[in-house]
Amino acid sequence: MIAFVSGPVAAVAPDSAVIEVGGIGMAVQCTPNTLAGLRTGEPARLATSLVVREDSLTLYGFADDDERQVFELLQTASGVGPRLAQAMLAVHRPDALRTAVATGDEKALTAVPGIGKKGAQKLLLELRDRLGEPLGSVGHRAGPAAGRPPAWSEQLHEALVGLGYTARDAEDAVEAVRPQA
C-alpha cells in the first residue's frame, strides 16, 4: 500500500490532483475539501489508499490519516465501494459521519448521492460498531489555506471559466453559493 504521497502539487482538477513524487506525477482522487487545501506549485502531503481492481490501480488521497481510515472502514460495509465512500466523505467530514451513524441519522446519509432510505438504514446497521464514536476534533483540517480566502471559491471560479462561462457569470455563481459569514 502507498500510505502517503508528498511533493509539489503539479495540477489540481475538480476531482483529483497530481503530486510530483521523485519526478513522477501521481494522480490522486480527492474530495473537494481536500482539493481546497492544495495549490499548484506548493508542497503537499496526502494520506492515501490504493484501490486495486482487475483493470485499474486508483490512488485516493485524503487531508489526514483519520479521513483515510474512515474511507477504508466505510468500504467494509456491503455495497460501499471507493467511489461511494469518497462521496460520503465529500458530503460529510469523518466526525459528522461518526455522529450520523452513532445517532442513527438516516437523513444525513441520504444526503449523499447514491444512498437512498433503505441503503441508509442498511449502512447504519452495518457501520454502527465499526466507525466508533466521534473524535470531537475541531480544526484538524487546518491546511495551507488557513487565514486566506477559501480556496474552493477560486477553484470553482476557474472551473466555471474553463467550462466556458464568462468571468462575471462565474463570479455570480461563486457568490451565490458562498456561505454567509
Is residue 175 scored above 70 in pLDDT? yes
* pLDDT, tens digit, 9 for 90 and up, residues 28-51: 999 998 999 999 999 999 999 999
Q: Is the pLDDT of residue 137 over 50?
A: no
pLDDT band (50, 70, 90) for residue 167: confident
Judged against a pLDDT cut of 80, whether residue 108 lies above it is answered with yes
Strands 16-21, 56-62: parallel, antiparallel or unpaired by DSSP? unpaired
Measured CA to CA, the distance from residue 94 to residue 85 in angstroms comes to 11
For cell 469523518, name the residue.
94
pLDDT for position 151:
64
- In this predicted structure, the answer to whether residue 20 has a pLDDT above a threshold of 60 is yes
pLDDT at 89: 93
Q: Which residues contact 15 (CB under 8 A, 6 or more apart)?
A: 29, 30, 35
- Percentage of the chain modeled with pLDDT above 90: 49
**Region 102-106 average pLDDT:** 88
Higher per-residue confidence, 154 vs 39: 39
122 has a pLDDT exceeding 80? yes
Strand-pairing partners, residue 44, are 7
For the residues 58-81, what does the mean pLDDT come to?
92
Look at residue 158 and tell me whether its pLDDT is greater than 80.
Answer: no
Q: Which domains does the chain have, with CATH numbers?
A: 4-62 (2.40.50.140), 66-131 (1.10.150.20), 149-181 (no CATH)
Closest C-alpha among 82, 90, 35, 43 to residue 63: 35
pLDDT category, 177, cuts 50, 70, 90?
confident
Choice between 138 and 47, residue whose per-residue pLDDT is larger: 47
Q: How confident is the model at residue 6 (pLDDT cuts 50, 70, 90)?
A: very high
pLDDT value, residue 132: 74
Alpha-carbon Rg for the chain, nearest whole angstrom, is: 17
User: What nine digits make up the cell of 78?
Assistant: 456491503
Dist. CA 110–CA 114, nearest whole Å: 8
